[in-house]
Structure 1
Amino acid sequence: MNRKAQRSQGDIFRRRALVIGIVLALLASACIARLSYIQLFSAESMAQAATASRTVTKPLQSQRGTIVDTNGVVLAQSVERYTVYADQKAVADFKPVDCKGDNQSVCHSIDGKNVNAEGAAAVAKLLAPVLGMNTMELGGKLVGESRYVVLKKNVVPAVKRSIDKLHLSGVINYELTSKREYSDKDGLLGGVLGGVDDSGAGVAGIEKMTNASLVGKDGSVRYQRGANGQEIPGTRTESEQPVDGGKVKLTIDWDTQWYVKKALQDAKKKTGADWGIAVVEEVKSGKIRAIADTDTYAAGSDGAKMNASKAVTTVFEPGSTGKLITAAGLLQEGLHKPTDKFQVPYQTEVNGQTYHDSHEHGLQNLTLAGILKESSNVGTVMASKNYTLKQRYDYITKFGIGQSTGLNFPGESRGQLAPYQSWDLRTRNTVLFGQGYSASALQMTNVVATIANKGVRCGQSIIESSTDADGNDTTPSANQPVRVIDESVAGELMDMMESMASQYKNVASIKGYRIAGKSGTAQVADSSGALNNHIGDFIAAIPADNPRYVVTVVLMNPDGIYGGITAGPVVATIGEFLMQKYEVPASSARKNAIPTEW
């Protein structure tokens, strides 16, 4: 009985073993069949899938283009920087290779000694001194499961090369980035250059104005990566190199800008002004050689991005400098000649409105040239008796007030000039002496430049040339030159302006050079609407006999009030610098000046 039981159990075991063997054989046959099928029919697709899983496309960042001054001095450029990041999983698996003399290209050491650590501790000991970080702090960042943890941004190329020598490829990696750097450390041109945002796009000033020219074209590279994310040599299949952005050349002369800024800041300190503006324009071309205010926002700073240059954004009533426009209209329309005679009292009344001069005086026998020289409000109103409202409006407009300068500068103001049909009884006459409308320093500079350029108003420009990433010419077109007054009228006005400027020869003169200019003073409303502020300005064409430059200086609330006294000396200081820097020939003696009195 026991023998039968034993045989029965043995049979059962054998049968089970046979079944299991058959099953295993079938499974093995299936695997062999599957492998054979894959090898014969799906090998290519499987290989492609494996390759695809290892293949990545990595963007290659382009650099933003450069901004330079008229002489090629670099004002803004993007420099190569790197973001260093870690693969925490690769860090955890990192085991340093001891240096043995013949493996220097792959081994790891610290001051010639073995690392004696593994994982995050080893990587931190190697990397912390190079990145200038605390070892413990860095070690904490290296621990985790992420494949991408930023360790440090804006790493310079020299540090990146030092990291390369640590042989941590696949564990520690980089991304090429860029940093925008400016020569404008002291805020000489901050409000004009503006700045870029975190993505590198221009958001203010020249950076925004010329963004399309400055942006580059990113490239890319396609390759297979290993288990630790490193590039497998020889696997690159596609590569498109990045193309850096173009170049923007400004009309600004950096040396002149520096001097003008300094002169303006000195004037603010000396006169106690709230702020100041200065502009230098080349007469025959309309090119802006300097544009400054007393703000000191460094280019690229938040202040520079939020506060554009006052020279293009701030408008004010020009005051008596606006009388130049009135005199130009009166002469051009044939209503008067420079020698026409007037008896000018201290004050006069027109349509129930009283107008008076800046200081009391008796009856003055003045020519039209004398009215401009003395800057008489009353004389200007008297001379304009037959000067229609439309003519007054038209000439203010022709000289560019209420019009775009053509710069297309972000935040630029056109000024404010209401239609003449809406002028009240007082404004009809205050516009004759620069009140009742507003203009920017750039616009008023071009008023005098138009007269100095023999009556032709040039479009102003601040971009001398520009190209984009593809090398295309992207230089913006300036407004086309347009004649505003006849050359003979412009010549008469220059003579009249020279007589006016001669009044300030003790405070605003340049040895060897004649000046044709006009001062202005105007009351300005404060935040409450009360006329508690005042503007003092002076605009001059230098030299008067062959104008090369127009210089404008505007001061808000200076001690001394009058523009000739406060802003005039600053114009002369800047003018003297210009004459020396650009080696302008000295003026000839003045002859046959138009009489100002009778």
Structure 2
Amino acid sequence: MAIESKKRMKFRIIMIFMFFFVLFVALISRAFQLQVLSGQKLKKLATRQHTTVLQLQPERGIIYDRNGEKLAISIMADSVCADPSKVIDPAKASKQIAYILGLDSQAVYKKLSAPRNFCWLARRISPEQTAAVVKADVEGVFLVKEPKRFYPNGELAAHLLGFVGLDASGLEGLEKKYNDSLVGSPEKLEWARDAKGKKLFLRVEKTQTAKNENTNLVLTIDNRIQYLVETHLKEAVIEKGAKGGLAIVMDPKTGEILALANQIGFNPNNIQGLSPERWRNRAITDYYDPGSTFKPFLVAAALEEKVIREQDRFFCENGNYRIADRVIHEANRKRYGTLTVREILKYSSNIGSAKIAQKMGKEKFYNYIQKFGFGSKTGIDLPGESSGLVRPVRDWVKVDTSMIAFGQGISVTAIQLISAVSAIANNGVLMKPYIVRGIADQDNRLVKLYTPTVVRQVISPRVAKSVTNMLMDVVGAEDGTGKNAKIVNVAVAGKTGTSQK
């Protein structure tokens, strides 16, 4: 009996041992799973439960003109946040804050009474509003510093620069085109919370490489030339009672844009209430019939193809020339008899131009239209460029060749037109227009330099020089259509034209 009792006792001890052994193995396995297999996942979950992270937008790089003048910078401004769980009286607080910030009190109350620990009330407020918020000292409402984009010259070059949104991302112009180069790494505002969600302390976290990530832009624009162009363009628009105007200054030898202006302008520091029509860069987006400014390209093409000579004479039908079912007239009902090629440009004869185009033929004419860059984008480094409108030559009817000769039935952009004219001024070489001269690091050392790009040789230097001399007559001669553009002791070549949108 004693032996049997001992066996039962031994069995019980073994069973208890086995039970605790299995329990120990289970605990060790569970600990291994929690600490090793699922450790990182659970750590992240715990961190998310006990901390709140607010991502603050980074400072953007500076935009300089070619002379080092700052066109766009970032300044620090205050933004208003709130922790609704800390607001004692949401109704009273919402009225105070709404009055200071010019907001709807009901909208503010809705935010402050929500069951959460964070909300934005206003972003990048004025210094006066900051002072008022500090003075009000509302429990649960606090200020956070954020970078704000600022354009020191207001409207100057606004259509080129563009602007940014609340998230500091570029929305228009160079700010949009070069957003990846200008934007830096964001800062993180982090605070710990206790079990009830109450804020314990704040900590600002910044990535190690943030300092070197954003870069600065150096433009081809000359701030002084830009100012003069915008000033005179605005005066001209007002004087003529026009709805708007465009002006571009380009270096024909390099393709660098020295100034590009649109009227009516806008202030990128305050775009509230403005429509996209106001900030659209019409110099690259809008296209229109070029009118008589297109005639130099016709003459250049005909001379290059040797279908005419400079001294050739054309009878201009005394102001009336019928082609198919159309009758072509001269501008302002002028009447010309026989004119040389030079005189056709100087007096801007529609009929003379139509006869030159007929002599050359539509296929050759169309070929040179394409060579001068019409009908395709120039590739300028700005967003939203249009390619204009050039119908395929197979779709031209009999009258089209003559109409396009004086700039009707074809639509071009302002940037296409100045690029093509610059090809004539540059010995027949078409250059790609560009705005950004280089990209610099935070110490303003160039890390990338953009150089002039040759597109193609359109006409020979001989023909280019010949056409340039003819265009100098347009401005320099007392009876030239462009005589009002004459500058004493300066050789000016140009061409007048009446465009149709």
Range into which the TM-score falls when normalised by the shorter chain: 0.7 to 0.9
Give 2:299's aligned residue.
Answer: 327
Give 1:71's aligned residue.
Answer: 67
* Contact 1:75 1:184 (C-alpha < 8 Å) held by counterparts: yes
Give 2:368's aligned residue.
Answer: 395
Alignment partners' CA distance in 1, 2:391 and 2:44: 72
Q: What is the deviation of 1:397?
A: 1.1
Give 1:551's aligned residue.
Answer: none
Give 2:487's aligned residue.
Answer: 510
Q: What is the deviation of 1:54?
A: 4.4
**Cα distance 1:304–1:205, how it changes in 2: closer, same or farther (>3 A)?**
farther
* Contact 1:68 1:76 (C-alpha < 8 Å) held by counterparts: yes
* Contact 1:192 1:205 (C-alpha < 8 Å) held by counterparts: yes
The higher radius of gyration belongs to 1
Q: What is the deviation of 1:228?
A: 4.5
**Letter of the aligned partner of 2:460 in structure 1?**
D
Give 2:20's aligned residue.
Answer: none
Q: What is the deviation of 1:482?
A: 1.6
Give 2:22's aligned residue.
Answer: none
* Contact 1:191 1:308 (C-alpha < 8 Å) held by counterparts: yes
**Cα distance 1:469–1:424, how it changes in 2: closer, same or farther (>3 A)?**
farther
The DSSP-based 3-state class of the residue aligned with 2:374 is coil
Alignment partners' CA distance in 2, 1:143 and 1:378: 76
Alignment partners' CA distance in 1, 2:334 and 2:404: 22
TM-score, L = length of structure 1: 0.64
Q: What is the deviation of 1:384?
A: 3.5
After superposition, residues 483-494 of structure 1 pair within 5 angstroms as 483-494=457-468
Q: What is the deviation of 1:424?
A: 1.1
Alignment partners' CA distance in 1, 2:384 and 2:340: 42
Corresponding residue to 1:248 among 211, 217, 227: 217
Structure 1 residues 405-447: Cα deviation after superposition (integer angstroms, max 9, x where no partner): 1115322221110011111111121111111101111111122
Give 2:181's aligned residue.
Answer: 213
**Letter of the aligned partner of 2:369 in structure 1?**
I
**Letter of the aligned partner of 1:493 in structure 2?**
V
Alignment partners' CA distance in 2, 1:485 and 1:49: 67
Asked if 1:177 corresponds to 2:151, the answer is: no
Give 2:474's aligned residue.
Answer: 500
**Cα distance 1:272–1:58, how it changes in 2: closer, same or farther (>3 A)?**
closer
Alignment partners' CA distance in 1, 2:401 and 2:102: 70
Asked if 1:444 corresponds to 2:413, the answer is: no
Give 1:422's aligned residue.
Answer: 395
* Contact 2:381 2:434 (C-alpha < 8 Å) held by counterparts: no
**Letter of the aligned partner of 2:70 in structure 1?**
V
Alignment partners' CA distance in 1, 2:262 and 2:369: 25
* Contact 1:279 1:442 (C-alpha < 8 Å) held by counterparts: yes
Corresponding residue to 1:315 among 287, 307, 323: 287
**Letter of the aligned partner of 1:181 in structure 2?**
F
**Letter of the aligned partner of 2:470 in structure 1?**
M
Alignment partners' CA distance in 2, 1:429 and 1:369: 18
* Contact 1:405 1:460 (C-alpha < 8 Å) held by counterparts: yes
**Cα distance 1:222–1:147, how it changes in 2: closer, same or farther (>3 A)?**
closer
The DSSP-based 3-state class of the residue aligned with 1:464 is strand
Give 1:376's aligned residue.
Answer: 349
**Cα distance 1:183–1:339, how it changes in 2: closer, same or farther (>3 A)?**
same
* Contact 2:57 2:168 (C-alpha < 8 Å) held by counterparts: no
Q: What is the deviation of 1:216?
A: 1.7
Give 1:538's aligned residue.
Answer: none
Q: Which moved more, 1:257-266 or 1:491-500?
A: 257-266
Asked if 1:482 corresponds to 2:450, the answer is: no
Q: What is the deviation of 1:479?
A: 5.0
Q: What is the deviation of 1:261?
A: 1.3
* Contact 1:282 1:289 (C-alpha < 8 Å) held by counterparts: yes
**Cα distance 1:505–1:154, how it changes in 2: closer, same or farther (>3 A)?**
closer
Corresponding residue to 1:200 among 168, 178, 188: 168
Give 2:229's aligned residue.
Answer: 260
**Cα distance 1:166–1:262, how it changes in 2: closer, same or farther (>3 A)?**
closer
**Letter of the aligned partner of 2:462 in structure 1?**
S
The DSSP-based 3-state class of the residue aligned with 1:518 is coil
**Letter of the aligned partner of 1:308 in structure 2?**
R
Alignment partners' CA distance in 2, 1:216 and 1:49: 26
Q: What is the deviation of 1:506?
A: 5.5
**Cα distance 1:83–1:232, how it changes in 2: closer, same or farther (>3 A)?**
closer
The DSSP-based 3-state class of the residue aligned with 2:248 is strand
**Cα distance 1:332–1:427, how it changes in 2: closer, same or farther (>3 A)?**
same
Asked if 1:274 corresponds to 2:274, the answer is: no
* Contact 2:74 2:149 (C-alpha < 8 Å) held by counterparts: yes
The DSSP-based 3-state class of the residue aligned with 2:228 is helix
Alignment partners' CA distance in 1, 2:459 and 2:405: 17
**Letter of the aligned partner of 1:75 in structure 2?**
L
Alignment partners' CA distance in 2, 1:139 and 1:388: 74
Alignment partners' CA distance in 2, 1:462 and 1:455: 22
Asked if 1:292 corresponds to 2:265, the answer is: no
**Cα distance 1:369–1:80, how it changes in 2: closer, same or farther (>3 A)?**
same
The DSSP-based 3-state class of the residue aligned with 1:355 is strand
Corresponding residue to 2:309 among 337, 340, 344: 337
Give 1:29's aligned residue.
Answer: none
After superposition, residues 107-126 of structure 1 pair within 5 angstroms as none
Structure 1 residues 154-200: Cα deviation after superposition (integer angstroms, max 9, x where no partner): 257899799999999x9554444332222342x33333322222322
Give 1:520's aligned residue.
Answer: 497
The DSSP-based 3-state class of the residue aligned with 1:195 is coil
After superposition, residues 398-413 of structure 1 pair within 5 angstroms as 398-413=371-386
**Cα distance 1:491–1:228, how it changes in 2: closer, same or farther (>3 A)?**
same
Alignment partners' CA distance in 2, 1:57 and 1:289: 45
Q: Any unmatched runs of 5+ in structure 2?
A: 1-26
Q: What is the deviation of 1:334?
A: 1.2
Q: What is the deviation of 1:295?
A: 1.0
Asked if 1:189 corresponds to 2:157, the answer is: yes
Count of residues paired in the alignment: 447
Q: What is the deviation of 1:383?
A: 3.0
**Letter of the aligned partner of 1:330 in structure 2?**
A
Q: What is the deviation of 1:385?
A: 3.9
* Contact 1:89 1:145 (C-alpha < 8 Å) held by counterparts: yes
Give 1:82's aligned residue.
Answer: 78
**Letter of the aligned partner of 1:354 in structure 2?**
V
Q: What is the deviation of 1:87?
A: 3.5
* Identity %, equivalent residues: 28
Alignment partners' CA distance in 1, 2:388 and 2:110: 58
Give 1:542's aligned residue.
Answer: none
Alignment partners' CA distance in 2, 1:189 and 1:477: 22
* Contact 1:80 1:157 (C-alpha < 8 Å) held by counterparts: no
Alignment partners' CA distance in 2, 1:286 and 1:232: 52
**Letter of the aligned partner of 2:458 in structure 1?**
V
Q: What is the deviation of 1:310?
A: 1.7
The DSSP-based 3-state class of the residue aligned with 1:230 is strand
**Cα distance 1:255–1:194, how it changes in 2: closer, same or farther (>3 A)?**
same
**Cα distance 1:90–1:268, how it changes in 2: closer, same or farther (>3 A)?**
closer
After superposition, residues 511-550 of structure 1 pair within 5 angstroms as 511-522=488-499, 524=500
Q: What is the deviation of 1:269?
A: 1.9
**Cα distance 1:370–1:174, how it changes in 2: closer, same or farther (>3 A)?**
same
